[in-house]
Amino acid sequence: MKNLIKIGVLVVIAGSLWFYIKSKQAPHIAQEKVLLTVSNAQIQGLDPIRVRDNYTVNEATKVYEGLLAYHYLKRPFELIPNLAASMPTVSSDQLVYTFTLCEGVKFHDNPCFPDGKGRELTAHDFVYAFKRLADPKLQSLNFWLVDSKIKGLNEWRQRYIDAANVDYTEDIPGLQAIDRYTLRFTLTKPYPQFLYALTMVPCYAVAREAVQYYGAEFMNHPVGTGPFMVAAFNPLDTKIVYHKNPTFRDKYFPSEAAQEYKHMLVDAGKKLPFVDKIVTHILSEEQPRWLKFKKGQVDIIDISRDNIALEVIQDNKLIPALQKKGAQLFSALEIGTNFIVFNNAHPLFKDNLKLRQAMSMAFNGPKYNKLFYQGAAMLAQSILPPGLAGYRADYVNPYRTYNLGKAKQYLAEAGYPQGKGLPVLTLEVVTNSTARQKGEFFQKCMQAIGIKIKLVENIFPELVKKIQTEATMLHAITWTVEYPDAENFFQLLYGPKQPGGVGANYDESASMPCMKKQWVCQIHLLGRSYMSDSTKWQQKVHPSFIYFTNPLQPFTKDGSKMLLLQTVLVA
């Protein structure tokens, strides 16, 4: 009897706790507009000089801004001034870039400033930001962006490598704040991608006061000039909350657009940002992300490039069930290529062009597209994806078309009829289900002509290491564009440090196409020599990068509005 009473009391307590918690969860009518998003990976802190991966970039660009950005709606991509008032004046020798900054741009209100009020952005802030990028003690892994490119910067860095403290007051000839709003860069040699580098997060403006106030914790207390602010942030958190920046400068939704985005101009001229709060959940597993989206706990989600064939798309459109709920599909061709690389330093591939071509032709592209992308991707003919100048839509790579007969013939000509005599080849892939399945697909294709492939899974750092040390035979990798220049793709294949890189033939002048006028021809030259006679890479697809929007809140009847927002911030 006593036990029954004890149990009864427990039940009552448990029950009341339950109801209490449930009541707290009851959705209150939001006075503010909140955008709920997800990130697929842990954010590595919000210090601009440390930001390297796509997910952290997405978060950092909500808070920080740079000199230049890309026009949100125009294609091909066009650089526009962001914190700069206008595009820079460039000297005739292409070495000096002079920027005039916008006036009246304020940093976020933050306790690190006197009175807690954010102060105005000046040219000195950019000088400071670049010094931090080069600071040897901070070990920024993004230093390559400006390595050996800005006059005096490398020398400054060298001086303090073994010193106890780095002197930031030292003047660097290539990094000058002429006056409050004028910034001048002097390069060591022409660097046509310099402006693109300026759009990348490591080159964004930071406030010296914040760095000094927060010290080592600066990465958890971002203070920028962007449309959103974060009160405090812990990289371990599985949730980040952003609030609208009340002192954000006047910035408006663009009024021009490329043809395919003209429908977004309904919001032209409206003041940014549109929402008051953004909550980003960090979930590394696919299942919880999608379950939350389907339940409406997440407004916007992208179909990760690795799992693009989820049953939510049919013929490039949303399935009716989701359409009924009000979700919308937004798709754009990702400027990226998914490909398999032959290590040309390996004796098997080194001089055996026919072998590589045979394998390339044995790959069943259309089936691959159907299986892994529901046909939504585009078969790549070269490593260059559409959207970049230099891309030729009419080019059809003769060794790219699926032709089993020809593949077998070439294999025999390569010295391995029906694959006899060829040892087992290894294909390195990243550790995840889809990458492995894609690898298995490749295995099956090769099996059809008699070549045996062994798959090896690696966590990403391991794969990178193997690639760097040329310890691979074949490896599968995806490359997304960092800046809109074809060089960004070609440098993957041609250069002193690429696996089997044409090291001996590496020509310094050819690797960095210099003049804007000239480089288009250069790329074609480079491209043509690769495309026609060597299948050094085996391109697969340009996956579509698809966004979902799930507008459950009244203010968003056009879900793409929210997508827009995010991309504006991402520049």
Partner 1 sequence: MNQASVQSIWIQAFLSLLKSKLTLASLVIVVSYSLLALLAHAGIIASNWNLDIGASYEPPSAIHWFGTDIFGRSVVTKIIKSTEVAMYVGFIVSIIAISIGVLLGAIAGYFGGIVDELIVWFYSTLAAIPNIMLLISLTFILGKGILAVYVALGMTNWIELCRLIRGEVIRHKDKEYIQAATALGASHWRKLVKHILPNIMHIVIIQFSAIFQIAIKSEVILSYLGLGVQNSPSWGIMINDARVELMRGVWWQLVFASIAMFLIVLAFNNLSDSLRDALDPKLRGK
Partner 2 sequence: MSFMSLYSYIIRRLSYIIPILVGVCLLIFFIFNIVAGDPTIILLGKHANPRQMAELRHELGLDRHWFIQYLDILKSAFTFDFGRSWATKQHIAPMLKLGTWVSLTLVIPAFVVTSILAISTALLAAFFRGRLIDKGLVVLTVIMMSISILVYILFGQWIFAYKLGWFEIAGYEYGFPDFIPYIILPAMILVLVNLGSDVRFYRTVFLDEMYQDYVRTARAKGLSERAVLFKHVLKNAMAPIITNLVIQIPAWLLGTLLVESFFGIPGLGGITLNAINNSDFPVIKAITILSAVSYVIFSVITDVLYTLVDPRIKLS
Q: Which residues are at the interface with partner 2 (CB under 8 A)?
A: 17, 20-22, 24-25, 42, 44-45, 47, 50, 52, 136-137, 139, 141, 143-144, 147, 161, 216, 219-220, 234-239, 281-285, 287-288, 291-292, 294-295, 297, 459-462, 464-465, 467-469, 497
CA gap 428, 69 in Å, rounded? 36
Residue 437's binding partner among partner 1, partner 2, none (Cβ under 5 to 8 angstroms by kind) is partner 1
- The least distance separating partner 2 from the CB of residue 78, rounded to whole angstroms, comes to 27
CA gap 523, 513 in Å, rounded? 8
Q: Does 469 bind partner 1 (CB under 8 A)?
A: no
427 phi, psi to nearest 5 deg = -115, 120
Among 431, 468, 518, 529, contact with partner 1 (rule: CB under 8 A): 431
- The least distance separating partner 2 from the CB of residue 396, rounded to whole angstroms, comes to 30
Q: Does 454 bind partner 1 (CB under 8 A)?
A: yes
Gyration radius of the chain's alpha carbons: 26
DSSP strand E in 103-235: where?
Answer: 175-179, 182-186, 228-230
Residue 42's binding partner among partner 1, partner 2, none (Cβ under 5 to 8 angstroms by kind) is partner 2
Q: Does 478 bind partner 1 (CB under 8 A)?
A: no
Which are the contacts of 28, defined by CB distance < 8 A and separation ≥ 6?
A: none
Q: Which long-range contacts does 151-154 make (Cβ < 8 Å, 24+ apart)? A: 151/186, 151/187, 151/188
Q: Does 375 bind partner 1 (CB under 8 A)?
A: no
Q: Does 440 bind partner 1 (CB under 8 A)?
A: yes
- The least distance separating partner 1 from the CB of residue 474, rounded to whole angstroms, comes to 14
Among 319, 353, 456, 471, contact with partner 1 (rule: CB under 8 A): 456
CA gap 135, 7 in Å, rounded? 64
Among 310, 345, 378, 514, contact with partner 1 (rule: CB under 8 A): 310
Residue 458's binding partner among partner 1, partner 2, none (Cβ under 5 to 8 angstroms by kind) is partner 1
Sheet with 89-90, edge to edge strand ranges: 89-90, 96-100, 182-186, 175-179
Which one, 292 or 524, has the nearer CB to partner 2?
292
The count of C-alpha atoms lying within 13 angstroms of the C-alpha of 57, restricted to the half-sphere facing its C-beta, is 15
- The least distance separating partner 1 from the CB of residue 448, rounded to whole angstroms, comes to 11
Exposed e or buried b for every residue in 442-477, given b needs 16+ CB within 10 A?
bbebbeebbbebebbebeeeebeebbeeeebbbbbb
Angle (CA) 209-211-216 rounded to 5° is 145
- 54-63 and 560-570 helices cross at what angle (nearest 10)? 90
Which one, 136 or 326, has the nearer CB to partner 2?
136
Which one, 371 or 412, has the nearer CB to partner 1?
371
Which one, 465 or 528, has the nearer CB to partner 2?
465
Which one, 138 or 455, has the nearer CB to partner 1?
455
Q: Which stretch binds partner 1 (CB under 8 A): 270-278, 410-418, 435-443, 516-524?
A: 435-443
Residue 62's binding partner among partner 1, partner 2, none (Cβ under 5 to 8 angstroms by kind) is none
Q: Does 287 bind partner 1 (CB under 8 A)?
A: yes
CA gap 205, 62 in Å, rounded? 13
Site for partner 1 in 289-308 (CB under 8 A): 290-291, 307
Which are the contacts of 529, defined by CB distance < 8 A and separation ≥ 6?
A: none
Sign of the dihedral through C-alpha 130, 210, 49, 39: negative
Residue 282's binding partner among partner 1, partner 2, none (Cβ under 5 to 8 angstroms by kind) is partner 2
Which one, 200 or 445, has the nearer CB to partner 1?
445
Among 371, 379, 389, 552, contact with partner 1 (rule: CB under 8 A): 371
Chain centroid to CA 104: how far? 30
Exposed e or buried b for every residue in 558-567, given b needs 16+ CB within 10 A?
ebbbbbbbbb
Residue 25's binding partner among partner 1, partner 2, none (Cβ under 5 to 8 angstroms by kind) is partner 2
What is 438-497 written as a DSSP string?
HHHHHHHHHHTTT--EEEEEE-HHHHHHHHHTT--SEEEEEEE-SSS-THHHHTTTSSTT
DSSP state of 364: -
Q: Does 458 bind partner 1 (CB under 8 A)?
A: yes
Among 412, 448, 455, 514, contact with partner 1 (rule: CB under 8 A): 455
The pairing of strands 425-430 and 474-480 is parallel
Site for partner 1 in 30-89 (CB under 8 A): none
Residue 139's binding partner among partner 2, partner 1, none (Cβ under 5 to 8 angstroms by kind) is partner 2
Which one, 270 or 497, has the nearer CB to partner 2?
497
- The least distance separating partner 2 from the CB of residue 349, rounded to whole angstroms, comes to 21
Q: How many CB atoms lie within 10 A of CB 65?
A: 25
User: 114 exposed, middle or buried (CB, 10 Å; 0-12, 13-18, 19+)?
Assistant: exposed
- The least distance separating partner 1 from the CB of residue 430, rounded to whole angstroms, comes to 8
Residues making contact with partner 1 (CB under 8 A): 285-287, 290-291, 307, 309-311, 371, 431-434, 436-437, 440-441, 444, 447, 454-459
